[in-house]
A and B are shown apart, each in its own frame.
Chain A
Amino acid sequence: MDIPALKHGSTRWNNQSGQILAEACIGLALLVFVWILISFVAYLSNNRIRTAMAARDAAWLQAKGLSTASVPSAFFYGDDVQLAKVMPAQQVSLSMPAVVQGIILAQGGGLDSMAYGMQDNYASDATVTFGMTASEVKSTTTFPFNLLNVQVPFMADLDMDNFLSVTSSCAWPGEDGADPTWSKARDVARTPLSAALILAVTIQDLSTYPIPALAVAAYLAAN
């Protein structure tokens, strides 16, 4: 049976015209998806490096008791500044291991001298985060995070916080205060035995040896 329409349709069915277009649509969509994905990852990777540098600067500022408000604008570009946050300062306590204490004692260091090391023995830990949380992404208009709001049918909600933000931390020795290097003469009285010695020299000697006692007291008061 010769049916033209069927014959014509059969011809169209065997015709390959449009196949390349269809393949290109699929292939380009794949390429675009991969490209966007890579761009996003590279974007976060780049800013992760910035968080490392920013964390160091923030730790230094915190250790000196200064404000970290200027850190985001110093390390991030344009609108990215809004995405960078310096977490509230944390203090990392430093401690002397027992084995090292034993070594110090064995070498004549004395427990009293180690008491010096128990003062101002902290580091300021700074954490800088770049990005946003999954809940923030749902309402954001910030590129490229707004691309993540595109939802295809049956797509579940995005819940990948680790994919949306990068974080770095850095610790810096605590140097805040008026005299971080203990350059005042009265700093020698920071330990029990040294304080007792200073008291003996200045107070107890006052009745028997007033001249050196007053001289030391005057020196400590002036320095």
Chain B
Amino acid sequence: MNDFFPFERRVKQLPQDEGGSVLLLSGMMAFLVAILGIFIVDTSQAVYKRIIAQNAVDAAAETSALWQARGLNLLQSWNNIHYVYNVGIYAQEWYYLAYCLKVDSDFAKEVSDAAKIITLPRVPGDIRQTQRDCDTCNKAGQANDRQSAVATDILQQQNEIATAFPYIALVYANQVAQASGGDPLNSVLPQYGNQLQGASGIPGLGVVTAIPGAIPVPIYAFPMQLLTTLNMNQVFLNVHEVSGEHWPWKTDQIPFFTVPVYQATVLTVFWLPAAAICALHGHSLSDHFSTSKWGWKDSYYRGYPGYNTWMAGKTNQTELAGLGTLRWLNGQSQTATVHYAFMDQDNMPMYEGSVNGTGPEMMVPAFLAFASSQVEGTGVVAKDTGNIFDQYNVFSLPPVDSLPKLISVFLPSTIAGTDWLILH
């Protein structure tokens, strides 16, 4: 009788039937192993993204430091050229004025005859002599003018460097970060939500979420200091133009006969008699300079390179096999119950609706990486006891405003005998 209802008979035998249990168990174990494997790959992916983010930010920090160093070294080299040129012009003026005195002294011997003096203006040859004196005086003044023109050109070059190099460093750091695998911060930062608002320890991190909305172009690396100050120069080069206080930058405030004797004072000693002699011949040096403006008021670039803390990142991504959307992998999804009646198993809680949860999806997270770079070196220009005469062991002079030697601004890797170093 029962053979006519094999299905019913089979159903009644199921509780006692152990056939297929091993296969079922094996299948479940294989499934669990596969899930664990997927988690391994997901974890590996997270670690990989973390390393790529760090690679990107390290490369950005290095790129920025490289262009900072180049800009600072250029500024210092221009300072040094400016310094050397000033000293040279100083000597040139000194020579012209001293020559003026010498020529006039020779001329005075020639015209010692009182009668010749009375008969001024002199013979044509004497006029040429006087003109030569004035040419000598004028050449000193023209040298002064030339110094001003060269100083203006050099300062213009330095101004352009100080303006352009921060942008060069910023742009190239971004491009290298992109080439190293970094993702746009415009996408990464929103994935952190408000978690960065309360962050501390890194300048500007608390307001870092302002980047995506404020900057419409993709940003792959960003210096944190720019969040606290929008001054590009201050963030990257930190240099500014300052007026010199001592020779050869500024000579109009040097007191006469100051001990120890400056070259400027020596020059002044010659300048005053030379100016008097030129005036005696009816010419004034005031066309080029006066006693109140004698010399030049000059500027140079000075500053101290700082450090930058860079940020780069990788966006999050869905979990490898897309299992992250499942309810049972989503702790915040509530399981629902469905009531059904089958074989006396009523009111058993079961999932209902979509297998995908509505809460936050389990994902491979986004990563932010940070790296600080510092361009080592002393100030681009700093006061020091060193000067060009000390450098060549001629004689000692008081402090000057500029070191006449190149102040190397270098990267840590360029230090001979030391290991590569990146701080992060």
Contacts and interface: CB of A to CB of B under 8 A. Distances in A.
Interface of A: 16, 19-20, 23-24, 26-28, 30-31, 33-35, 37-38, 41-42, 45-46, 48-49, 52-53, 55-56, 59-60, 64, 92, 94-97, 99-100, 103-104, 107-110, 112-114, 116-117, 120-121, 123, 125, 168-173, 175, 180-185, 187-188, 193-194, 197-198, 200-201, 205, 208-216, 219-220, 223
B91 A211 contact: yes
Contact of A173 (B47, B59, B164): B59
Given A23-B26, A34-B37, A173 B63 contact: yes
A94 B33 contact: no
Contact of A116 (B25, B165, B175): B165
Interface in B15-59: 18-23, 25-27, 29-30, 33-34, 36-37, 40-41, 44-45, 47-48, 51-52, 55, 58-59
- Cβ-closest 9 pairs across A and B: A27-B26, A212-B88, A38-B37, A113-B160, A171-B179, A45-B44, A215-B88, A113-B164, A23-B22
B84 A216 contact: yes
A187 B420 CA distance: 25
Contacts of A42: 37, 40-41, 44
Contacts of B86: 212
A185 B77 contact: yes
A108 to B, nearest CB: 5
A94 B406 contact: no
Interface stretch (B166-174, B197-205, B266-274, B337-345): B166-174
Interface of B: 18-23, 25-27, 29-30, 33-34, 36-37, 40-41, 44-45, 47-48, 51-52, 55, 58-59, 62-63, 66-67, 69-71, 73-74, 77-78, 80-81, 84-89, 91-92, 95, 139, 142-143, 146-147, 150, 153-154, 156-157, 159-161, 163-165, 167-168, 171-172, 175-176, 179-181, 217, 406, 408-411, 413-414, 420
Nearest to A19: B19
B22 A205 contact: no
Given A49-B51, A110-B163, A188-B74, 4 more contacts: A26-B23, A113-B160, A175-B66, A187-B73
Given A23-B26, A38-B40, A212-B88, A219 B80 contact: yes
8 contacts: A27-B22, A31-B33, A45-B45, A182-B74, A183-B69, A197-B153, A211-B95, A215-B91
A178 to B, nearest CB: 11
Contacts of A41: 37, 40-41
Contact of B48 (A23, A49, A215): A49
A205 B20 CA distance: 101
Contact of A20 (B22, B44, B163, B167): B22
A137 B157 CA distance: 60
B25 A27 contact: yes
B26 A31 contact: yes
Contacts of B150: 197, 200-201
Contacts of B19: 16, 19
A104 B150 CA distance: 24
Contacts of A34: 30, 33-34, 37
Contacts of A220: 81
A209 B18 CA distance: 109
A217 B48 CA distance: 53
Contacts of A194: 157
B176 A173 contact: yes
Given A173-B66, A181-B409, A104 B74 contact: no
A182 B73 contact: yes
B37 A172 contact: no
A91 to B, nearest CB: 10
Contact of B88 (A107, A125, A214): A214
A181 B88 contact: no
Greatest chain B CB density within 10 A among A26, A27, A173, A194 is at A173
Given A173-B59, A214-B88, A30 B30 contact: yes
B44 A48 contact: yes
B65 to A, nearest CB: 9
